[in-house]
Structure 1
Amino acid sequence: MKEVTAAIIIRDDLILIAQRGQGEKLQGKWEFPGGKLEKGETPQQCLKREIQEELDIEIEVGDFFAESIYKYATGEIKLLAYFCRMVRGKVKLSVHGDVKWVTVNELDGFDFAPADIPLIKRLKEEL
């Protein structure tokens, strides 16, 4: 099972979501940005690296939020989600097709990757 991280980046009561880009697995689906853990890396280190690489922003990783296990056709993943906040930078797209800042109630209006859906349900209960 692959371990993958997800950043729930909140700013002014809005949550950053990203749309998977052209040529990516699950192209067009929305997600909480993040990526695969590399050997010897903590989930927090992974999130900081992935968000810097993919969105060109620096984040501070906060509390663990939840995990979601999902079996895709390509294999099973364990998605580890953490609350994060932007420290500096302006979002620039490199692998994503789009990003949006949305309220928790607007999350249902987007076509999310299956592994992210349980996180949305829990966010709606807790925020």
Structure 2
Amino acid sequence: MANKLEFPGGKIESDETPEQALIRELQEEVGITVTAFSLFDKLEYQFPDRHITLWFFLVESWQGEPWGKEGQPGRWMAGPTLDPAAFPPANEPVISKLIAQG
């Protein structure tokens, strides 16, 4: 979405699990190899024209230095500093949860 912050991620391929998609997408988008993660949240969101399921994982360890492999800028942000309005509306519940957990 234009002018919005976004988490790395993408669509789950037909032959993979959400966990496999996490590993693939983070390698493709930010160049890291995920070595440990846990499910943080799973959200359902209804757009006017489609319904989506969003999987959010906490990546606890990885190999490599994250960088924007697809040309996108990146930055680290602490949970309490996140502004839900800066993200797409579908992300609001998980942003609020991150803020609440500090």
TM interval, short-chain normalised: 0.7 to 0.9
Q: 5+ residue gaps in structure 2?
A: none
Amino acid in the other structure paired with 1:95: E
Compare the two structures and name the one with the higher strand fraction: 1
Map 1:1-127 to 2 at 5 A: 26-95=1-70, 97-108=72-83, 111-127=86-102
- Could you give the per-residue CA deviations for residues 33-92 of structure 1, whole angstroms, max 9, x where no partner exists? 111111121111100000100111111342211112222345221101111134211222
Q: How far off is 1:126 after superposition?
A: 2.6
> Is the CA contact (8 Å cut-off) linking 1:70 and 1:114 kept in structure 2?
no
Amino acid corresponding to residue 27 of structure 1 in structure 2 = A
Structure with the largest fraction of helix = 2
Q: Structure 1 stretches (4+) deviating beyond 3 angstroms?
A: none
Q: CA RMSD in A?
A: 2.0
Question: Please, which runs of 5 or more residues in structure 1 have no aligned partner?
Answer: 1-25
Residue 124 and residue 68 in structure 1: after superposition, are their counterparts in 2 closer, same or farther (change >3 A)? Answer: same
SS in 2 for 1:44: helix
Aligned residues: 102
TM-score normalised over the length of structure 2: 0.84
Structure scoring higher RCO (CA < 8 A, sep ≥ 6) equals 1
What TM-score comes out, normalization by structure 1 length?
A: 0.70
Distance of 1:91 and 1:63 partners within structure 2:
19
Q: Percent identity?
A: 32
The SS at the match of 2:15 is coil
